[in-house]
Amino acid sequence: MNALNITISAKLYSKNPDETELGKRILSKSIALMDELGYENLTFKKVAREITSTESGVYRYFQNKHQLLTYLINWYWGWLEVKMAQEFMLLNSPEDKLKRAIELLVLPMEQDERIPHVDERALQRLVVGEYPKIYLTKDVDQENKEGYFLGYKQICETLSQLALQINPDYPYPHSLFATIIEAAQSQQFFAEHLPRLSDSSGGRQEIVQFLIDMTLKSLRK
């Protein structure tokens, strides 16, 4: 985690799971179970059973499953931010970087061998299916003050700065990329589950092209 410079608010855990083997097993099995069962059907009792531990052992790391889900999604955004930074080093123009960023938001991930306890593809599916649940709550304002959404906001800021490199006079860079990031997830979900809400019947590459087209047309006005 430190080597990858992924920063997660300490408010998102009671004990840092990435600092112990038990914590890493909790993360690994929680991702797998949420991917299989969905957030609503996940319980700490089920996680504990999978890692041959106790339910109280899981609670020592996370107060509840909302906190756990928010941690995992923040971890994903932080990891994706690092991956973008690494790939941007190989590209010259802001437009090429923007196109690659959109690809990374949509296309299937490859397993990061540096982090064996995290299945990035399963976590990507989790983000697509569950991520709005972390902020569609009555506690969103207080949780925002406590840094629950820093990973999401940071990746939006990075892409907003790319937009301003393409068009310094564009007045809505944060609104644009908050919309693009949301659409990157929702269009994947719609294409699979609610196909009448998407024109991307040909797969994720169509979603990529749609988002690139919408972004560049907005910036070039």
pLDDT for 90-138, tens place per residue? Answer: 999 999 999 999 999 999 888 888 888 999 999 999 999 998 899 989 9
Q: State the pLDDT at residue 2.
A: 43
Residue 19, domain extent: 10-219
Q: Count the domains in the chain.
A: 1
pLDDT for 138-190, tens place per residue? Answer: 999 999 999 899 989 999 999 999 999 999 999 999 999 999 999 999 999 99
Radius of gyration of the chain (CA): 18
Contact 100, 87 (CB under 8 A): yes
Give me the chain's average pLDDT, please: 92
Please say if the pLDDT value at position 86 is more than 80.
yes
Question: Tokens in use for 12?
Answer: 């998102």
Q: Decide if 55 is inside a domain.
A: yes
Q: State the pLDDT at residue 72.
A: 96
With tokens 């972390």, the residue in question is 134
Please say if the pLDDT value at position 1 is more than 60.
no
Is-above-0.75 flag for pTM? yes
CA distance 194 to 157: 30
Provide the 8-state DSSP code for 176.
H
Q: Decide if 3 is inside a domain.
A: no
**CATH assignment at residue 36:** 1.10.357.10
Q: Decide if 4 is inside a domain.
A: no
Q: Decide if 2 is inside a domain.
A: no
Q: Decide if 40 is inside a domain.
A: yes
For residue 68, give the nearest of 44, 52, 48 by alpha carbon: 44
